[in-house]
A and B are shown apart, each in its own frame.
Chain A
Amino acid sequence: MTRYIFRRLLQAIPLLFVISLVLFVLMQNMGDPIATMGGRNVTRSADRERLKRQLGLDKPIIVQYLYWLVGNDWTKTDLDGDGVAETPGVRRGVLRGDFGLSLVNKKPVTQVIGERLPNTLLLMLTAEAFILIFALLIGIYSALRQYSTFDNIITTVTFLFYSMPVFFFALVAMYIFAVNFKKWGLPYLPTVGMFEPTAGKTPLQVAWHMVLPTATLSFGFIAGYSRYIRSAMLEALGQDYVRTAKAKGLPRPEIVYIHALKNAALPIVTIIALDLPFLLGGAIVTERIFGWPGMGRLFLDHVSRGDTPVVMGILMMIAVAAVIFQLIADILYAWLDPRIRYT
């Protein structure tokens, strides 16, 4: 098993190189970072040239990628445009842990991401916990009562929620729980930020501010996952080994939660492992709507300004997470299903 994990990690290295190259090339089409730098003022063309040289944007794309990957401290750059390369580079490259500086605010990428990642993790882990608990409850319950009134209602509601756009749900939720609750004199939910500036960042404040974003993030996933869980459970419950378990006189909970669920868990684990890395990347729409200072908003703000270092940092983090979660899923498989063995 250790050998298998080691081999899988080794295999991931070339994959990550290819991913990073493709993403880097694609990033060049996201717009000119210099165009947005002057704000409302038009940047003079001489300044544009200088900025381009300073940021290394005058180099061919493959050289830019190389600098991003391994740094440029081994070479000298021509900063003043006189044709003589005299200034030694300071970048150390991603391979040595230097993700560069943000083109927007000159802060190190790791610091920019580091400020936002905990906020996103807080929101995402809470949402994921809600998703799993409710999806399992709803999925198993409606599988056990297939075609009952409850099951039919849940089926309708899940399809409605599953097909509803996130922004629409968010706005409806805001309209009901913030706007109208306030109007009716009920305790209403906040719609923006992590806390009231006047109240300070207390756990209660943050939890209160998380209600709507968490609900917005969860509803679609709960709807989707509960369908998967329902069908996986229905399939498992129809198998011969469930009949055997029943023929042994086992109590119903043991049949459902051990004999059936352990078999049904396999396809569910696949789907969840595939979705998890994207939760790390934050929810662009939800964070934007609720003004949540997380990765999704960070991504949106920086991708619109062509901030290659920050965007690459976020995307590579997601890529690495995808590789790791996939590996975790495969290890979970082996644990859940003894027929699967890795060598």
Chain B
Amino acid sequence: MNRRQVILDLKDLRTRFHIAEGTVYAVNGVSLTLHECETIAIVGESGCGKSVTMLSVMGLIPVPPGEIVSGQAFYRNRDLLALSEAEMEHIRGKEIAMVFQDPMTALNPVLTIGRQISEPLRVHLNMDRAAAQQRVIELLEQVGIPDPKNRMNDYPHQFSGGMRQRAMLAMALACAPSVLIADEPTTALDVTIQAQIVELVTRLRDALCMAVIWITHDLGVVAGLAERVIVMYAGMVVEEANVDDLYDDPRHPYTLSLLAALPRIDRRRDRRLKSIPGAPPNLLVAPHGCPFAPRCEFAFDRCRIETPPLLPVAIEHRARCWYDVVNGRPFE
């Protein structure tokens, strides 16, 4: 399946934040690969490091307090983490674009939508005003904003939530990037609007052959969108699989719990949804052992001492667990 070229290759990324209370171990050795035109989803609960991972790749972590301790992020064989700020400016928005969670705060309230969309066109493609304006109208049309000629002169507060996110998408797509990073783009939206945005991204991805990294905490959104899913917990990848395998044959206890907490239309309705006991891990403590062990129903002694590696458990399927959930006993 993955004969396509690797476009983004992330190797052992570690990001920390040095704050007054100590050091936050936000990302602890994340590796992932993204192929051309492929969509992957990064799933995990709030604070598991999924956004920080992608912000690190984009060089958008405020330093200080942030620090990228180690790792490489190869985009078309160039390590983004080693590039200078000036070189990164040519990557951001042009090669790799990003859409953020809350389009109300992510758009500048005092600049028109049209201006904000035209900025990457001017900066990266050296378009003049007239050409940029023409392209903005096309882009707004493409993302389904009615009457783009007039609406481009509106300010963000004059747009509805869904329209703002469409405008954000138009902005990200302006320079036809090869990679789109969508950081929880539907979280702040109504469910019906969510579906529209997902549908829109799917359509544009297919039309432009764009690789998409979709960050979300909503496993429901992922199903119809991504080809592969990466489950993160406490700044680590705990499971990685093709989307169907992950839903039908989850191998990590955390993924199992996530799926058990998800309402499904094909299951009996009278079954209670299961919540995961305990609280997410304290990232102020350096990771030791399996980070999920304190909340895991299968955890045994080894889990608390030794951090499991990300091991292949099936074809194109890896999990970070000492316990074989299929056979109901520890590995080896």
- Whether the pair A262, B111 counts as a contact (CB closer than 8 A) is yes
A235 at the interface (CB under 8 A from B): no
- Whether the pair A244, B92 counts as a contact (CB closer than 8 A) is no
Within 86-106 of B, Cβ neighbours of A (below 8 Å) are at 88-94, 97-98, 100, 102, 105-106
Measured CB to CB, the closest approach of chain A to B313, in angstroms, equals: 35
B35 at the interface (CB under 8 A from A): no
Stretch of B42-50, B117-125, B229-237, B299-307 lying at the A interface: B117-125
B105: which A residues are within 8 A, CB to CB?
A: 239-241
- Whether the pair B100, A243 counts as a contact (CB closer than 8 A) is yes
- Whether the pair A248, B171 counts as a contact (CB closer than 8 A) is yes
Bound together, the chains give a CA A259 to CA B89 distance in angstroms of 16
Residue of B nearest to A338 (CB): B155
Measured CB to CB, the closest approach of chain A to B224, in angstroms, equals: 26
Measured CB to CB, the closest approach of chain B to A147, in angstroms, equals: 9
Which listed residue, B100, B106, B120, B168, touches A249 by the CB 8 Å rule?
A: B120
- Whether the pair A240, B106 counts as a contact (CB closer than 8 A) is yes
Bound together, the chains give a CA A336 to CA B111 distance in angstroms of 9
A245: which B residues are within 8 A, CB to CB?
A: 108, 119
- Whether A259 touches B111, Cβ cut-off 8 Å, given contacts A247-B97, A249-B94, A251-B89, is yes
Within 213-249 of A, Cβ neighbours of B (below 8 Å) are at 239-241, 243-249
Bound together, the chains give a CA A241 to CA B108 distance in angstroms of 5
- Whether the pair A246, B60 counts as a contact (CB closer than 8 A) is yes
Bound together, the chains give a CA A244 to CA B113 distance in angstroms of 13
- Whether the pair B119, A248 counts as a contact (CB closer than 8 A) is yes
The 0/1 profile, CB within 8 Å of B marked 1, for residues 101-143 of chain A is 0000000000000000000000000000000000000000000
- Whether A240 touches B110, Cβ cut-off 8 Å, given contacts A248-B92, A248-B123, A339-B157, is no
B132 at the interface (CB under 8 A from A): no
- Whether A263 touches B94, Cβ cut-off 8 Å, given contacts A249-B120, A251-B123, is no
The 0/1 profile, CB within 8 Å of B marked 1, for residues 320-343 of chain A is 000000000000000011110000
A61 at the interface (CB under 8 A from B): no
B171: which A residues are within 8 A, CB to CB?
A: 244, 248
B312 at the interface (CB under 8 A from A): no
B144 at the interface (CB under 8 A from A): no
Which listed residue, A243, A259, A338, touches B60 by the CB 8 Å rule?
A: A243
Q: Give 19 CB contacts A-B under 8 Å.
A: A240-B100, A241-B109, A244-B107, A244-B108, A246-B92, A247-B58, A247-B97, A247-B100, A249-B88, A249-B94, A250-B120, A251-B123, A252-B85, A258-B111, A262-B108, A262-B111, A263-B109, A338-B109, A338-B155
Listed from nearest, the 8 A-B pairs whose CB atoms lie closest are A249-B93, A249-B92, A248-B93, A241-B108, A240-B105, A338-B155, A247-B98, A240-B106
| Chain A residues with a Cβ under 8 A of chain B | 239-241, 243-252, 254, 258-259, 262-263, 336-339
Q: A249-B123, A254-B119 are in contact. List 9 more A-B contacts (CB 8 A).
A: A241-B105, A241-B107, A244-B168, A246-B92, A247-B97, A250-B123, A251-B89, A339-B109, A339-B155
